[in-house]
Amino acid sequence: MSHVHATPVSHLTDPGSHGAGPEIDLDAALSELRAASPLVQCLTNIVAANFTANVLLSAGAIPAMVDNSREARLFAGAANVVLVNTGTPYPDTAQAMTEAASGASSAGHPWVLDPVAASLPWRGQIALDTLRAANPTIIRGNASEILALAGEASGGRGPDSTDEAHAALASAQQLAAEHHCVVAVSGPIDLITDGKRVVSAANGHPWMTKVTAVGCALGALMAAFAAVCEPLDAAVAATSLLCVAAERAAAESRAPGSFAVALLDQLSLVSPAELAAAAKVHDVEA
């Protein structure tokens, strides 16, 4: 894609811009998240579990890491939303992932798939198994992961993506159409699509790639917002919240260690109005 034209859609921008979809009310989204405190069942990885839980708590949600095959389906009926992240799958947790996706769907609850390193064949199959069990609400990944999930080759090496988000946009739109879901592709500029509409989110800071599990935590935040918003709005609100908090955190930090601590602080400190004012969210026209 040689040129991307974007028209703003965030809270404070002109709602009449050509090609823009409905305004995404980030102020209302964050207010609602904090008012509702949704219970987010996380089936995530051993690297991200602690940070993900703290990100959710700071943002205003309640994490519950119920990720074994005996309880995953049952708990998905009680939680408000489910996150499935394939970062460190094992035989039992892999089974639990399909059970949880299916359980969430049966209960009418949203669920989010974060297909970490889906280019590896076993976990790629686990991700596909969850998709066969139930259409997700949102799929979140970097470009390599979205390409892999769509069956395309990529230059990714493990969880580190060498592709920019735009390289995966066609695959993202295809996945969104096929699974009737929203697909969010992370990168320096994030792209979020429901298969037709494409929204870009341009906040963030390079240190987000120097702290492990920030991408995993983004998937968890999307799950939390999906409990209180429409899917596209949820993916955009989560991305903007994490990236705006990261900008604020980086401004008061000096390196990745202090940045990670400040990021958790800022997820709690940023107000709904501050989020809406700082977010760089636009509709994209190819």
Please state the residue numbers annotated as binding site for substrate. 65, 213
Q: Are 226 and 137 in contact (CB under 8 A)?
A: yes
Element (H, E) at 259: helix 256-269
Question: Which position among 11, 73, 109, 123 is part of the footprint of its own copies (CB under 8 A)?
Answer: 123
Phi, psi of 82 (to 5 degrees): -125, 140
Among positions 200-259, residues that touch its own copies (CB under 8 A) are: 209-213, 254-258
**From the list 91, 108, 153, 196, which residue makes contact with its own copies (rule: CB under 8 A)?**
91
Which is nearer to its own copies, 132 or 210 (by Cβ)?
A: 210
Instruction: State the binding site for ATP.
Output: 140, 186
83 is a contact residue toward its own copies (CB under 8 A): no
Amino acid letter, 259 = F
Q: Which of residues 156-175 bind its own copies (CB under 8 A)?
A: 157-160
Q: What is the DSSP string of 179-206?
A: HTSEEEEESSSEEEESSS-EEEE----G
Burial status of residue 266 (CB atoms within 10 A of its CB: 0-12, 13-18, 19 or more): buried
Select the residue interacting with its own copies from 46, 155, 178, 271 (CB under 8 A): 46
SS3 269: helix
Question: Interface with its own copies includes 142 (CB under 8 A)?
Answer: no
Q: Using the rule CB under 8 A, is 16 a contact of its own copies?
A: no
Which of 1, 12, 78, 251 binds its own copies (CB under 8 A)? It is: 78
d(CA 207, CA 89): 26
Q: Which residues bind its own copies (CB under 8 A)?
A: 39, 41, 45-51, 53-54, 57-58, 62-68, 70-71, 74-75, 78-79, 87-93, 117, 120-123, 157-160, 209-213, 254-258, 260-269
